[in-house]
A and B are shown apart, each in its own frame.
Chain A
Amino acid sequence: MSGSWEVVIGLEIHTQLATDSKIFSGAPTTYGAEPNTQACLIDLGYPGMLPVLNEEVVRMATKFGLAVNATVAQRSVFARKNYFYPDLPKGYQISQFELPIVEHGELFITDADGNDKRIGITRAHLEEDAGKSVHEGLGKSSGIDLNRAGTPLLEIVSEPDLRSAKEAVAYMRKIHTIVRYLGISDGNMQEGSFRCDANVSVRPHGQEKLGTRSELKNLNSFRFVEKAINFEVERQIELLEDGGKVVQETRLYDSDKDETRPMRSKEEANDYRYFPDPDLLPVEIDAAYIEAVRETLPELPDAKQHRFVDEYEIRADDAAILTASQPLADYFEEVAAATQGNPQGVANFVIGDLSAALNRDGIAVEQSPVSAAALAGLLDRIKDNTISGKIAKEVFEAMWAGEGSADEVIGARGLKQITDSSAIEAVVDQVIAANPGQVAEYKAGKDKLIGFFVGQVMKETGGKANPGQVNTILKQKLR
């Protein structure tokens, strides 16, 4: 990327709130039902139907506002956003415009230099989701499924404070973590409960005025957000350097071709003609309500991360990984409390072998076949030298496969570490005697060969000799 250009990015994230019923009707919100079996007359925009507000969405929005240090409005107003599209049954979306429920928030990400960077959150407001369209398999028609119409959304708008695709992803991940910590959204991007649009523009370094921006839609994974933004930035810079102008438009990201292209249906600028929805009254919540919600906030990711560094003395980036998911953080803490081993060791194992196994099997930590207590037991055996770190991996896989506790596996497979010096000495003597050539080279100065000898001893002992002792004894005997 050319050094003379500054990238300016703002993200609009739509997160579906995990309520049982819709924001304005009592229809269910479960995913994956048969088309139009969860769209009641209110959701269908039937004549004479009226919206009634779900109390849970107010609570969830308030929770979010408090979690990002924002102002939670004691008075907010729903407004109609008017436009025609088949997945929008009333011909308007009930949203919030001038008086949103949350304003002026912030969160912190770590920038490229490892420093904390504040990203402003302009606002977060409540609105209803639209339905879905099916364009394939219906001949000359498109089919509309309104099950999703009326599902509650929280639209979170950032200030244009992001300066790179990486920062954008970091911010998006942070929001994703927060909404899951708060229990207000499951953040499932495949199912569409967490969606991101990016507003991207460039300007010459030092220029105050923002460049013309394009809006990128259809970014449904962290990876795509990064790729789409990078593509778009390059496209805009090339265009401008060639003497062209960036057009303000909406563009879709095509993940197959890794490119953005203009979206046909949004070609014309829409005049949304916002006005306060006369079917709904202003939402008023008092300070007592807000404080009561504050009491229910869990320990938030940043606070937990800092506490992990302070309390457990683990590395900052490990703390960040562990706290990215509340269940994972809880798991870590359970193990740390139960084991004699040091917390950094626990962190290493959880981030390493445990996470690898979870990913491989596509399950969440809550479904781990190895419980926190069981893992603590395994780590204890490393700490007390019963097994080496390397053997521990084998034991872990066996535990994962259901063979029992650490002790049971170690016993059944005879994996106890050999720590008896005389036994190790015997094997070392054997190895030295069997490899006179390498011994000579080592003594002549090829120090790297110590690895070869260690390997041979390990082979002879089936990997069970204590590596530290093997090293010490070998070095002694090869002097």
Chain B
Amino acid sequence: MNHDLKERLFFLLLRLVTYSMVLVIGFILFDIVRKGLPVISLGFLLDAPRQSGAEGGIFPAIVGTFYLVIGTLIIALPLGIASAVYLTEYAEQGRFTQIVRMAILTLAGVPSIVFGLFGLGLFVIFCQFGASILSGSLTLACMVLPTIIVASEEALRAVPQSLREGSLALGATKWQTIRKNVLPYAVSGMLTGSILGIGRAAGETAPILLTAAAFYLPKLPTSIFDQVMALPYHLYILATQHPAAHKVIPMQYGTSLVLLTLVLGFSMSAILLRAYFRKKYRW
């Protein structure tokens, strides 16, 4: 039948489009793995760059990214989780809650380079932290805060109401209830959701461009007021600003692969953890 044929053709088109996107993603990953893998060696991972990145490794950049991620985590995680607890457990529907929600949505939409400008104006210049791990982490923390809040809220809402009611009925205060009967069951969900946000922080370039990153530092940072090297920034400079950019292409692929592995590793582990915890807690 003619109509039937049209339908099947259309469905085939949808399937083709969807799978071609999958193919493109596959190709990007494949290309970076294929050309990056030969570069990866212990020396590449554990040496400092030599000859402005043309030789040696990327160890300081890995360490720098690690410091920035830890810094971001320390600032954003408690703040995000506390906000989520307030919003799900305490907040009444009203003006204030509405404004908080509006603010979170606004933050989620602010372009990363604007976070960079903001970090430059507030942390680097006004607070006089200079371009440093502290400024970079604070800037990244502001950026990932909405992700962490939304993920934590979801985890808190998944805890059945009856657990709260049981505790309150036994005479526990609100905070006791939250601490003993809600948070322990939500913590896994909050962490996995937050890992996704943290992965994003590890891969961002624009916010640290103006607040933390340096292309080459002779030694590893020793305090939170030091500048750092970071993987995304290292890759950006190697690919666009390096005087012999096409000669260091293997180094670029190697750096890409390490960064990609790190970021996707975060996401994958979050997805796997989520699946594991979903099986563990079933209400």
| A and B associate in one complex | no
Residues in chain A within 8 A of chain B (CB atoms): none
B residues sitting closer than 8 Å to A (CB atoms) are: none
